[in-house]
Structure 1
Amino acid sequence: MDAGAEEDQHRNPFLNASATRLQFRSEVSKACWDDKLGMGEIIEKKGGIWTSTGVTRCSGKLYCTIEEIIFYMERGALVLLDTDGDALDLKYTYTELAERGYGCNLKSLEVYRHLKSLGYIIRRHGVPWTMKREKSCSSESDRSLISGMDDENVRVMEEMIRKIEINGQKLDFDVYLPNSHFRKTSPGDPYFILSIISGKPPSSREVKELEDICKGVPLKFCHVDHGRVSIFSFEKSNLETLP
């Protein structure tokens, strides 16, 4: 490996692994990257993947987050274009993720890829599938603030919701069971809400506070170690006093 390739691999550790998984499909959708929104606008939809992927904004346009874009680019189901209509490669999206994030990071990408590969339906926590009213773990005031905004203001508000933290621990993804009849306009409650642990495990008080935010939807935690994704939950139990 030459010095340039080694530097690319150091900055973007997914480069080699993802290249080996690159697949090709007959039905390929197209998206145009919107740098201001930090999302890709779907301009040509092919196949049924969009029934449970992407979010519809005030303008009626369908947008994808960077983790959704990378996942489907790796599988040959999506071509990402720049504003001039030129195709962007995976290396570009990995670099954008590493350098700018757009609300995602390498751990989040690993978790999204893992769950999506298993067939789960997944979205960023608190981000409505559409601008229509729906029941979610975001508060009523959050939803009322989002309604009626343009796409840029919606993106800013959604990021504010996602960044709500309890001592550094936040809610990352809403996860739904595989469902061929899934509808974005009536998704129902998530199967569970996922919080990615980035440092030490949360305390019992922090777990309780996060559970309160979830309003009855099960809360699970996730730890990522060298690409291995582990998902677990905490339960309270009372130990009997030994004689």
Structure 2
Amino acid sequence: MDGEGWETSSVSDNEVDFQYRDDEEHQYACGSVTKLQFRKEISKARWDEEMGMAEVLEKKGKMWTTTGIIRGGKTYCLIEETLFLAEIGALKLFDDDNANTPMSLEDLYQKVAGRKHSCGWECYEVYRHLKSLGYIVGRHGIPWTEKGGNKNNELVSLQGNSERNEMGESLHEDYVAELFNNMHINAVKLAFDIYLPNSKFKKSSPVDPSFVLCVTSGYPPSKADAETLERLLGSIPLKFCHVEHGRVSFFSFSMVDLPVLP
């Protein structure tokens, strides 16, 4: 990575148009703030505080082909997925203690703001931004299904659970995962696996992501840190993201050949 240069972009939602707009989660007007839509059919889920996820009770629409993880024949939504679907009016969430009591957006905002479930507000803004643009976004280190994982997405987990998750399933068998579990390198962490919009995407066979995204806090990573992350990911491209005052910016390293001075 000698002579690297930063490539940067900060894209607003109305500057990008993708070919695939089939999923219902994208059928709302794009903007800097996710807009609630009134729907005839709304999925239902129950929040499980111990697991830190929502168990989906009733699925409606096409969004579930690219949202939620499947374990034991059930679909669960991570906190960022749960909040996003609730914001766009696609999911009605019920309280963990009382199945008849709906949870409010404010309740979910407080959970994200408290970083209790391994996704703080900056990470959520990144997730919401990319989902609004049509990308397929998955939590890094968390396979979509019990059979859908690969060696790359088992390396590092934002979830921060070293051997087994709350459902008793082994997520991190590799020693590298143990070493870099809940990875922070100078406030840099691997956050999301990003896939290009794809109407044929399957959770059971997602192949490698188009790139893995790191969310930085404050400053870009050092050269040594970036090289360490790239070695961990192998052939999968690595990009960095920074959120400041609601503005989501993306960065990447590229090789630069410096001219030979006389």
TM-score (norm 1): 0.82
Gap change, CA 1:69 and 1:174, over 3 Å in 2 = same
Structure with the larger helix share: 1
Q: For residue 46 of structure 2, what is the aligned residue in structure 1?
A: 32
Q: For residue 172 of structure 1, what is the aligned residue in structure 2?
A: 191
Q: Which runs of 4+ in 1 moved over 4 A?
A: 155-162
Q: Deviations for 1:135-177, whole angstroms, at most 9, x for unmatched residues?
A: 241458x9xxx9xx67433498699775123343221100001
Q: For residue 89 of structure 2, what is the aligned residue in structure 1?
A: 76
User: Are the equivalent residues in 2 in contact too, given 1:162–1:172 (CA < 8 A)?
Assistant: no
In the TM superposition, what are the counterparts of 1:17-166 in structure 2 within 5 Å? 21-57=35-71, 59-83=72-96, 84-85=98-99, 86-139=101-154, 151-154=166-169, 163-166=182-185
* Cα root mean square deviation, aligned: 2.7
- Residues in 2 aligned to 1:111 and 1:220: alpha-carbon distance in whole angstroms: 12
Q: Deviations for 1:41-98, whole angstroms, at most 9, x for unmatched residues?
A: 00000001011100011x2211001111111111110000013221111011101211
Q: For residue 251 of structure 2, what is the aligned residue in structure 1?
A: 232
Q: For residue 198 of structure 1, what is the aligned residue in structure 2?
A: 217
- Residues in 2 aligned to 1:53 and 1:126: alpha-carbon distance in whole angstroms: 15
Q: Deviations for 1:76-135, whole angstroms, at most 9, x for unmatched residues?
A: 100000132211110111012112430100100100000000000001101000111532
1:174 alignment partner, SS class: strand
TM-score (norm 2): 0.76
User: Are the equivalent residues in 2 in contact too, given 1:166–1:210 (CA < 8 A)?
Assistant: no
Question: Structure 2, unaligned stretches of length 5 or more?
Answer: 1-31
- Residues in 2 aligned to 1:125 and 1:26: alpha-carbon distance in whole angstroms: 33
User: Are the equivalent residues in 2 in contact too, given 1:222–1:231 (CA < 8 A)?
Assistant: yes
Matched pairs, number: 221
Q: For residue 11 of structure 1, what is the aligned residue in structure 2?
A: none
Taking every aligned residue pair, what percent have the same amino acid on both sides? 48
- Residues in 1 aligned to 2:239 and 2:118: alpha-carbon distance in whole angstroms: 20
Ranked by relative contact order (alpha carbons within 8 Å, sequence separation 6 or more), the top structure is: 2
Post-superposition offset of 1:231: 1.0
Q: For residue 13 of structure 1, what is the aligned residue in structure 2?
A: none
Aligned partner of 2:39: which letter?
R
1:208 counterpart = 2:236: no
